[in-house]
A and B are shown apart, each in its own frame.
Chain A
Amino acid sequence: GAVVSQHPSWVICKSGTSVKIECRSLDFQATTMFWYRQFPKQSLMLMATSNEGSKATYEQGVEKDKFLINHASLTLSTLTVTSAHPEDSSFYICSARVSLGGTAQFFGPGTRLTVL
């Protein structure tokens, strides 16, 4: 099946630093990738839709200048949390939709971000 990887799987950083998370589709091309955030014992909240070669579409309430998304190729999207603060600590999950005729999304294993 389609495999999506994320790197790193976990990261601890100091408040005020920026953190980049990578999402890769390993064996398929994904024109569209999605970024979610999940707080403990809660559901996934969609942050943004990332389209290859164009600007990401952010959900209401998500600061685009704080969560920078780049989808430079059909297999890679990155999420950069800029000037991270403790309230940004969360589990960040990406997913990718197969380019040709797919409706199911394949999820990465997630990245646990802890901001001290």
Chain B
Amino acid sequence: SQQGEEDPQALSIQEGENATMNCSYKTSINNLQWYRQNSGRGLVHLILIRSNEREKHSGRLRVTLDTSKKSSSLLITASRAADTASYFCATGDIQGAQKLVFGQGTRLTINP
């Protein structure tokens, strides 16, 4: 079953603005990952944050994790048209298989 809820489901902003997407989950996790998916394509891994980390940066991406609230956020700064895609959070479980459970995703549209 799906673990994560993502908010908002869809987001449309102007190029250059910042985009923030939120993700909530239900159970204990080992890590949380964010992925990007362009329409009809596979997933691209963006960033992984471990359960003992609170914030992580990668280029224009900033991810936060609040395990007490079971939530995470992805911030994309200075957005570009090429950032238009669907963004998914996925939680990695604490079991050996480390399978991922995906949220519903946020469809981000960057308007030029």
Q: Which residues of A contact B (CB under 8 A)?
A: 4, 6, 32, 34, 36, 41-46, 49, 57, 91, 93, 95, 97, 103-110, 112
Contact = CB atoms under 8 A, between A and B. Distances in A.
B43 A57 contact: no
Nearest to B97: A49
B33 interface: yes
B107 to A, nearest CB: 8
Contacts of A43: 2, 88, 102-105
Contacts of B69: none
Interface residues of B, number: 24
A32 B97 contact: yes
For chain B, what secondary structure do more than half of its interface residues adopt (helix, strand, loop), or is it mixed? strand
Interface string B5-17: 0000000000000
Contacts of A46: 99-102
A103 B30 contact: yes
Given A32-B98, A36-B102, A43-B104, 6 more contacts: A32-B97, A34-B100, A41-B107, A44-B43, A44-B102, A49-B99
Given A43-B88, A103-B48, A93 B105 contact: no
B103 A97 contact: no
Q: Nearest 7 CB-CB pairs, A to B?
A: A109-B42, A107-B43, A107-B42, A44-B102, A43-B102, A110-B42, A43-B104
